Amino acid sequence: MSRTPRLAAVVPVFLAAVSLEASQNKLVNGAFGTDLSFWTQNTYPDHVMTQTGAIGHAALGAFQIVEDGTVQMNHLVMYQCVAVKEGASYNVGAYFRFPSSLNTLPSGYIAVQWSPAANCPQGNLIPPYVTTPETVNLPDTWQHTTTPLVAPATAKGALVEVVVKSSSQMPFQAWYDDISFTGGVKGDADGDGSLAIADVFYLINNLFAGGPLPIGPCDVDNTDLVNVSDVFYLINYLFAKGPAPL
């Protein structure tokens, strides 16, 4: 599924570097600890995308893109769908970096497109198209670009898109890390505003029966993944006085 980013006029605004806990993140594997799993890549012949453990924002592990310079790049390189609740407030953001050794100036931003379905099928998207500010010429620095947003009426999903640009037709290297889409109550899988046994069943249905994506952030054990360990963590918290979601 290939998507083409639309450009938006933005004013660069960068916040203090505050690393968000993985458990607050509705995206899965937003810190790229070992691979690029859970992200769908748009492949292009002019660049290579990999996970690297040689660099990272808060910890080692990042998404790396290497461009060969055959085109002046403005590519949506990968994306992930998350379920949302219409009218709810969220925040999307990421950290972007490039080395000072380059002869070109790459930049990046995160875009969000809304969908009437929780699994974000292609087509039939809902306005508005939202982007974070585009990063600026600040090499060897993790730039944090972020923006608040509200899910529009009838929205059930949000397509979180990673965009990379280059200022000229030259080779370059750049990294993304700690990409986040936050909002909602930790562990509130069904999005009703509270944490209960219904959320355990909702998460089990998603993980093992192809059920809908969790509406709230469900990485309750703070591993940057959502899996059966989170189910056991929730059960332990709800019925055995175990620790609260992290």
Neighbours of 96 (CB within 10 A): 29
User: What confidence score (pLDDT) does residue 20 get?
Assistant: 58
pLDDT over threshold 80, residue 6: no
**7, 12, 56, 156, 171 from 72: Cα distances, Å:** 15, 21, 26, 35, 9
Burial (0-12, 13-18, 19+ Cβ within 10 Å), 142: buried
What does the DSSP 8-state code read for residue 195?
A: -
pLDDT over threshold 90, residue 12: no
Give the range among 13-27, 64-78, 134-148, 190-204 with minimum mean pLDDT: 13-27
Mean pLDDT of 68-90: 89
d(CA 233, CA 107): 39
Which candidate, 98, 18, 94, 115, places its Cα nearest to that of 55?
Answer: 98
pLDDT over threshold 60, residue 15: no
The full set of domains in the chain, from first to last, is 23-182 (2.60.120.260), 197-239 (no CATH)
d(CA 142, CA 98): 8
Element (DSSP H or E) covering residue 65:
strand 62-67
Which candidate, 201, 218, 207, 179, places its Cα nearest to that of 80?
Answer: 179
**pLDDT (tens digit per residue) in 94-105:** 999 999 988 788
d(CA 155, CA 151): 6
In whole numbers, what is the pLDDT of the chain averaged over residues?
Answer: 89
3-state percent breakdown (helix, strand, coil) of the chain, nearest 5 = 10, 30, 55
pLDDT over threshold 50, residue 1: no
pTM more than 0.85: yes
User: What confidence score (pLDDT) does residue 241 get?
Assistant: 92
**pLDDT (tens digit per residue) in 147-182:** 999 999 999 999 999 999 987 778 889 999 999 999
Question: Residue holding tokens 């000229």?
Answer: 168
